[in-house]
């Protein structure tokens, strides 16, 4: 994939969170993909990724992953974001940097870097 194609793939994935469709979200990943919220242990395989994404969708009434800056090269994308969450009346934002490795037109590795304490305090969840 070219840098532009890799960037477009990641932009589509991040925008897809607003649809709240787990099948759409996991279709972006290779079967052996790794999802790593860097402060915690990585999740390996699309089945595990499906479980954690489903838990996010069940927990939060709204989720949006909004790009601030993005840089891409073939099969590698860096996306600075502000992730926004809502649970009932409670809303919070989390600054995040995501790194996406692309293989054969799908995401093979998705690593997010963020402050775990901020997420847990704001969300009331433990990762």
pTM of the model: 0.92
| pLDDT number for residue 119 | 85
Residue with tokens 């595990």: 48
Class of the CATH domain delimited by 3-123: alpha beta
The residue ranges of every structural domain in the chain are: 3-123
pLDDT at residue number 79:
98
Beta bridge partners of 76: 73, 101
Q: What is the pLDDT of residue 125?
A: 74
Distance from C-alpha of 13 to C-alpha of 65, rounded to nearest angstrom: 9
Q: Under a CB-based contact definition with an 8 Å cutoff, are residues 46 and 26 in contact?
A: yes
CA dist., res. 101 & res. 91, Å (int) = 30
Q: What is the pLDDT of residue 39?
A: 82
Per-residue pLDDT of the chain in tens (127 residues, 90 and over written 9): 999 999 999 999 999 999 999 999 999 999 999 999 998 999 999 999 999 999 989 989 999 999 999 999 999 999 999 999 998 888 999 999 999 999 999 999 999 999 988 888 888 777 7
Q: How far, in Å, CA of 126 to CA of 80, rounded?
A: 23
Question: Residue 45's pLDDT is what?
Answer: 97
What residues have CB less than 8 Å from 115, skipping those under 6 apart? 39, 94, 95
């Amino acid at each position: 994939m070219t840098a532009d194609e890799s960037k477009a793939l990641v932009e589509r994935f991040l925008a897809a969170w607003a649809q709240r469709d787990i099948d759409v979200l996991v279709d972006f990943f290779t079967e052996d993909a790794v999802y790593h919220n860097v402060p915690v242990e990585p999740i390996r395989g699309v089945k595990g990724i499906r479980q954690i994404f489903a838990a996010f969708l069940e927990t939060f009434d709204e989720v949006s992953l909004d790009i601030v800056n993005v840089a891409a090269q073939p099969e590698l994308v860096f996306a600075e974001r502000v992730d926004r969450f809502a649970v009932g009346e409670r809303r919070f934002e989390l600054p995040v940097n995501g790194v996406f490795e692309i293989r054969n037109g799908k995401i093979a590795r998705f690593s997010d870097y963020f402050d775990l304490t901020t997420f847990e305090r704001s969300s009331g969840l433990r990762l």
